[in-house]
Amino acid sequence: MLSLIIFLVVAFALIFEFINGFHDTANAIATTVYTRALTARRAILLAAIMNLCGALVSEKVASTITHGLVNVNLEEYVILAALIGAIIWNLFTWWRGLPSSSSHALIGSLIGAAIVYSMSLEHIIWSGVLQKVVIPLVISPFIGIFVALGLMKLLMNFIANWSPHKVNSIFSKLQVCSAAFVAFSHGTNDAQKTMGIITLALITADQLPAGASVPFWVKIICALTMMAGTSVGGWKIMKTMGRGVTHLDPPSGLVAETSSALVIETMSAIGAPISTTHVITSAVMGVGSARRISAVKWSKAQDIIQTWVITLPAAALLGGAACFIIEKFMRVI
């Protein structure tokens, strides 16, 4: 039974990573596709390769997931429940075309499952949740908005006297680099969550010692799975990101992607599992606001923000419910 549950945990973790690939990576490449800097096929291939590279660079975020959220010895089925809850939420928001956070879906679901398992709030490391999850969740979108707004203002002044042809010609090429940068950043942050959850399951099953780092084979398999998911693409979310929030051209697409990547890399360096989705969406709002406030479709932005707010509690409920059901099922068999 133990080996079966570990197998299921790894399988569902990779399913989550695959979904994360087409769910969240769509955000990274949407601006490039809709400014026509790259075709959709080339953008997806670029994002897949850069995700793979980014996923192999660091494991600080994975360490937060493995060691920084709960202080109780979980059983393997609890981690399985957390993955199921996160997958359900990701598929629901993908179906609705809403760019929600896979990161916070997984974290919320893990917290909910751990609470139901322990029947207590005491085994959640609330300081870690606050410092590594909630605070970055709140501040990273604002940082994304203001960094993008500031950079866009500077760029607009710099190219004010350029011809439209020159602007589009130069920035279409530069945007390929910024798309690669943001896809790489996505790999350094988002791919880490699944690595962390698999490592946590292996530690729980006594397959790894407490405090162990992420095994190399886990890094490889997670990186390749995210790459495969990216290759599928997330067209509904790309539509929302590319046209649903504000009109984008190559210069604004470049600024949105570069601003996002800078924020994501900064947060990854401190081990904060932030949402690539939140940061990129906020940066898109920032570049739109730099032109004029009315350039942003705030009704669509409001829908996205509401999804952000409810992701943690909704995923926690789904993770808790999955844990309760699996626990009852295991008692029967």
**DSSP line for 114-166:** HHHHHTSSTTB-HHHHIIIIIHHHHHHHHHHHHHHHHHHHHHHHHTTTS-HHH
Please check whether residue 31 is in contact with residue 172, taking contact to mean a CB–CB distance below 8 angstroms: no
Please check whether residue 184 is in contact with residue 50, taking contact to mean a CB–CB distance below 8 angstroms: yes
Written as one letter, the residue type at 45 is L
Q: Looking up tokens 């406030």, which residue turns up?
A: 293
Please check whether residue 235 is in contact with residue 26, taking contact to mean a CB–CB distance below 8 angstroms: yes
Backbone angles phi, psi at 124, to 5 degrees: -90, 130
The full set of domain ranges for the chain reads 2-332
- pLDDT of amino acid 239: 54
- Kindly give the interhelix angle for 102-118 and 76-95, rounded to the nearest 10 degrees: 140
Q: Decide if pLDDT at 6 tops 90.
A: no
**Residue 307 tokens, joined:** 């999804």
Residue 55: pLDDT band with limits 50, 70, 90 = confident
Mean pLDDT of 194-220: 85
Cα 21-25-28 angle, rounded to 5 deg: 170
pLDDT, tens digit, for every residue of 250-281?
A: 898 899 889 999 999 998 888 888 877 778 88
Among 19-28, 153-162, 178-187, the range scoring the smallest mean pLDDT is 19-28
Contacts of 1 (CB under 8 A, 6+ apart): none
- Kindly give the interhelix angle for 298-332 and 76-95, rounded to the nearest 10 degrees: 150
Please check whether residue 287 is in contact with residue 149, taking contact to mean a CB–CB distance below 8 angstroms: yes
Q: Decide if pLDDT at 245 tops 60.
A: no
Residue 138: pLDDT band with limits 50, 70, 90 = confident
Closest CA to 221 of 252, 185, 195: 195
Contacts of 120 (CB under 8 A, 6+ apart): none
- pLDDT of amino acid 87: 92
Q: Looking up tokens 């604004």, which residue turns up?
A: 252
- pLDDT of amino acid 25: 62
Strands (E), the chain: none
- pLDDT of amino acid 96: 75
pLDDT, tens digit, for every residue of 167-177?
A: 988 998 898 89
The structure's pTM equals: 0.80
**Residue 101 tokens, joined:** 């956070």
Element (H, E) at 197: helix 164-204
SS3 of residue 273 by DSSP: coil
Please check whether residue 26 is in contact with residue 238, taking contact to mean a CB–CB distance below 8 angstroms: yes
Number of other residues whose CB lies within 10 A of the CB of residue 53: 15
Please check whether residue 70 is in contact with residue 122, taking contact to mean a CB–CB distance below 8 angstroms: no
Closest CA to 44 of 226, 214, 295, 299: 226
SS3 of residue 280 by DSSP: helix
**Residue 122 tokens, joined:** 């005491």
Mean pLDDT of 237-247: 55
